[in-house]
Amino acid sequence: MRLGVIADDFTGATDIASFLVQNGMATVQVNGVPAEPLALEAEAIVVSLKSRSCAPEKAVADSLQALAWLQQQGCERFYFKYCSTFDSTAKGNIGPVTDALLAALGETQTIISPSLPVNGRTVYQGHLFVMDQLLSDSGMRHHPVTPMTDSNLLRLMEAQSEGKAGLINSQTLDRGADAVRHALAELKQQDVRYVVLDALNEQHLLTQGEALREMTLVTGGSGLAIGLARQWASSAHNSAQAQAAGTPQGERAVVLSGSCSNMTNRQVARYRDQAASLAVDVERALAQRDAYAIELCDWVAEHSGESLAPLLFATSEPDTLKRIQQQYGAEKSSEAVEQLFAAVVRELQQRGWQRFIVAGGETSGVVAQTLNIDAFHIGPVISPGVPWVKAVSQPISLALKSGNFGDENFFARAQQEFSL
């Protein structure tokens, strides 16, 4: 089996890759679209893009480039992966990319399945919930880039795409895969292009996987990968075998946190009681980045022999973050922190550091890019959607965490519960 996944951001790519290996598919992730085909030993290949919030035209172009490369790699089934909170605007990018992929593949129908029940993302009667709240009542309503003020996936999809949306509800899912296939066929006769699938629990995802195993293109969050992987995984592989290539290695470790999400704030607070920690000074990052980076690396080295790795964090509470953004500018301060982390990672790599635990999608992307990691094997799962990964071409292991993923003790568990 060759499954090709096109993911619209870095940690989202790692998220779905972890569910694929956890359910038996040996998986490799590549960062961006490689210039040439690669010799990869895997049943699934995940391409991570940065297309979630860029201009729709660029998102479409990048996604079509990824599709063409995956076809060169021999992929026969395709999966457009976006966030389980359907992060998008009225113009896209989920709708435009889906339309472009359907057209390129000569298909007229796909499904919309962002559900991830294990992390509290469910769909009922076509409405997306975050825990016990409608998406539009959750913190996503105030997202600075993709504010989600509507929870109805049918309306959201039709507003940013070219076709008609329909629904297969949870009652149909309860009747099994044959009922879902029959409903898909009926909706196709009605020219329904995008079929939203309810999902309230993992069994619904397994039913979806069975019903969709022959569909050329599916779209959704990472949860659907659970059902599909169990349908597609080779009998020669099991979860442990699939994860073996990404088993973490290396001796020196550091924790870097750039996310300001609620969960990351809690994780940083917990870890500060367990290990050496140091907050990043945004003003110094702006004024004297290189010298400041050396100073931070010296501090990390001083604490490298302790039981848990030292933490550098730019994570802030909402009020503090607002003040920093007002003082320095949101984009300028964010870029300064990212470039500082890049300088720190570059210096630590030269000093022999091989393990990096990172919180935040943008920060994770910067770290992987700085380390020149083009592809990596997906290893054992630390928390749902967050695995250890190991670079294909160099001895570097990473744990790359999206902002709200993981429990409060994530940073410590990543080190204590896995052989490093």
The pLDDT value given to residue 254: 97
Of the chain, the percentage scoring pLDDT greater than 70 comes to 95
Task: Give 101's Cβ-side CA count (13 Å radius).
Answer: 31
Whether residue 341 sits in one domain with residue 287: yes
Distance in angstroms (rounded) separating the CA atoms of residues 87 and 140: 8
> Is residue 8 within 8 Å of residue 93, measured between CB atoms?
yes
- Per the prediction, the chain carries an average pLDDT of 91
Whether 237 shows a pLDDT value over 70: the answer reads: no
**Segment 116-123 mean pLDDT:** 94
β-pairing, 121-124 vs 127-130, is antiparallel
The residue range of the domain holding 183 is: 3-238
The tens digit of pLDDT for each residue in 354-384 reads 999 999 888 888 898 899 988 999 988 898 8
The tens digit of pLDDT for each residue in 30-62 reads 989 998 888 888 899 999 999 998 999 999 999
Distance in angstroms (rounded) separating the CA atoms of residues 221 and 63: 16
Which of 212, 238, 264 delimits the end of a domain?
A: 238
Domain containing residue 55: CATH number: 3.40.50.10840
Whether residue 196 sits in one domain with residue 81: yes
> Is residue 47 within 8 Å of residue 7, measured between CB atoms?
yes
Any bridge partners for residue 121, and if so which? 116, 130
Whether residue 352 sits in one domain with residue 284: yes
Helix (H, G, I), strand (E, B) or coil at 372: coil
Whether residue 255 sits in one domain with residue 218: no
β-pairing, 164-168 vs 192-197, is parallel
- Of 122-136, 164-178, 188-202, 240-254, least confident by mean pLDDT is 240-254
Whether residue 79 sits in one domain with residue 228: yes
The pLDDT value given to residue 336: 85
Which of 191, 207, 238 delimits the end of a domain?
A: 238
Whether 236 shows a pLDDT value over 60: the answer reads: no
The pLDDT value given to residue 286: 86
Task: Quote the number of domains for the chain.
Answer: 2
The tens digit of pLDDT for each residue in 214-230 reads 999 999 999 999 999 99
Q: How confident is the model at residue 187 (pLDDT cuts 50, 70, 90)?
A: very high
β-pairing, 164-168 vs 355-359, is unpaired
Whether 264 shows a pLDDT value over 60: the answer reads: yes
Whether residue 362 sits in one domain with residue 232: no
Which of 204, 238, 272 delimits the end of a domain?
A: 238
Whether residue 317 sits in one domain with residue 268: yes
Domain containing residue 264: CATH number: 3.40.980.20
Whether residue 250 sits in one domain with residue 167: no
Distance in angstroms (rounded) separating the CA atoms of residues 240 and 396: 20
Whether residue 285 sits in one domain with residue 224: no
The tens digit of pLDDT for each residue in 279-307 reads 998 888 888 999 999 999 999 999 998 99
Whether residue 223 sits in one domain with residue 252: no
**Segment 321-332 mean pLDDT:** 68
Whether residue 283 sits in one domain with residue 160: no
* pTM assigned to the model: 0.82
Whether residue 252 sits in one domain with residue 234: no
